[in-house]
Amino acid sequence: MSVLVGKKAPSFSAGAVVNGMEIVNDFSLDQYIGKNHVVFFFYPKDFTFVCPSELHAFQAKLEEFESKGVKVVACSTDTEESHWGWLNVDKNQGGIKGVKYPIVADTTKTISEAFGVLAGEYEYDVEGNMTASGPMIAYRGLFLIDKEGTVMHQVVNNFPLGRSVDEAMRMVDALQFFEENGEVCPANWSKGDEGMTASFDGVAEYLTKH
């Protein structure tokens, strides 16, 4: 498991379903650099139980994210055809119909691996044959990426533990407060609270680049 905070988010180009219906072949987060903050989250598999609750929860807050200039993007190791099929199943039947933000298809598992959320790894046996250990699907990773493409926050949950969309929103607010005011956010900070002045080098370096 790698820590990407403070580093550039890994670049990729992959298939995805956008607007809930359209399959594209060359989706990339690079399109948002210089324009938008990004909440990029991974989930284990299509057609499961916890996953649709998370995808619908992000959709319910999508308008609020977008009002802050934030793009929400999901990703799993399923194919784009699987994503498209799941998007055509009604919510009351376990589907994610109505989800409009992009869902990336990490069929090669290279995106999950690059972001450090792939559960399992490829190995070679004594005869030189490639094998896989673990389920080779993504943990519930979430990455908040700034407009320069730098990861500012990450959290990774194991499969049974669903995430808090409200906490993701709080992190967006904290990042944007810091960028706008140059003040840091103490424990349990929420939008509307006061920040704190900090003088450590990391803050100064970030502000000089932005």
The predicted model scores a pTM of: 0.91
Catalytic: which of 51, 72, 75, 87?
Answer: 51
- Residue 143 contacts residue 9 (beta carbons within 8 Å): yes
Q: For residue range 172-193, what is the model confidence (pLDDT) as tens digits? A: 999 999 999 988 888 999 888 8
Looking at beta carbons, which pairs linking 32-35 to residues 24 or more positions away fall under 8 Å? 32/71, 32/145, 32/147, 33/147, 33/148, 33/149, 34/147, 34/148, 35/147
Residue 185 designated active-site: no
Specify the CATH superfamily of domain 14-163: Glutaredoxin (3.40.30.10)
Domain boundaries, the chain: 14-163
Tokens for 4? 């990407």
Q: For residue range 114-146, what is the model confidence (pLDDT) as tens digits? A: 999 999 888 877 888 878 888 999 999 999 999
